[in-house]
Amino acid sequence: MRKQTVRRKTNVVRKPKKKAAVFSRKLLRYAIVTFFVVLLAGVGFHYRNGLAYYFSFKSDKIIRAEREAQRISDVRNFQVLEKHEGKSIGIDVSEYQGKIRWSYVDTLEKKYPLHYVFIRATVGKDRKDRQFNRNWLGAKENKMIRGAYHYYRPNENSLEQAALFIKTVILHKGDLPPVLDIEKLPKNQSIVNLKLGLKRWLHAVESHYGVKPIIYTGERYYDDFLKEEFSDYLFWIANYNFYREEIAEDWLFWQFTEKASVPGIKGKVDVNIYNGDLQQLQYITVE
């Protein structure tokens, strides 16, 4: 038999890298970065006037576009309001309007008196609107008819959401019925279960306050999911489309714009039309 030759593995001992080489590479990278920073700064300085003109021009274009969009919105708002002369006008607010100076909230476009306000009270099962208490008291002191609404989260327990609203809102004589705001579709449940949850919230709130709640939603959501099965409820519908200029007969309230200016409120605010006059609005308030 031939003897097998066993070769021993030889461990190659690598010499450690020299510190000088590492330092040189770092220095090289630093030099390259510095070069490009200086180059960009130099180019920016050289073209400073042109860049200033360009960005100014772009900003002006954006501003002009925003102003044009606002002008179109204002024109539509005037048309809608003129077609509903005599109907009761109101707004709805939340913490997004910041701290409202309620004593200044009186008219829309210095012509149309604001009779009522819907105020967001709660969100989902665990969040109270940060400005609710302040807005709820301010509206009362400003002698506006007030109502509270709950923003419904489809993927959270409906009875827990109802409990939070009931805990937060105390209705008095002259207040509007409670409102359920539903805008989103569920992610983890069927439409059937969504409707079941909505009904549970509505029944719990009605049982507590002794008054049937109002449902707020968008027009498409209303047509697709709620119109038939919740026909025994009154609806507050949002539709901002330019082509719609009149409230539908089966709508109790119509939120026709989200871009109105109102004294005492910074930024834009939603405006609503009640399908009746002030006396008829007072008729649906809590007794």
Please, is 122 exposed, middle or buried when counting C-beta atoms within 10 Å of its C-beta (0-12, 13-18, 19+)?
A: buried
Please give the share of the chain, as a percent, with pLDDT higher than 90. 67
Amino acid (one-letter) located at 80 = V
Domain positions in the chain are 18-83, 87-283
Which CATH superfamily hosts domain 87-283? Glycosidases (3.20.20.80)
pLDDT of residue 34: 80
Please, is 41 exposed, middle or buried when counting C-beta atoms within 10 Å of its C-beta (0-12, 13-18, 19+)?
A: exposed
H/E stretch holding 253 reads strand 253-260
DSSP 8-state secondary structure symbol assigned to residue 94: -
Cα–Cα dist 167/173, whole Å: 18
Q: Is the pLDDT at 54 greater than 50, yes or no?
A: no
Among 232, 269, 242, 237, which residue's Cα sits nearest to residue 253? Answer: 237
Structure tokens that stand for 54 in this block: 């360009």
Structure tokens that stand for 181 in this block: 């705001």
Q: Which residues are catalytic?
A: 92, 183
Give the mean pLDDT of 216-238: 97
Q: Is the pLDDT at 27 greater than 80, yes or no?
A: no
pLDDT of residue 127: 97
Q: Is the pLDDT at 86 greater than 60, yes or no?
A: yes
Give pTM, 2 decimals.
0.76
Secondary structure E strands in 183-240? 214-218, 234-238
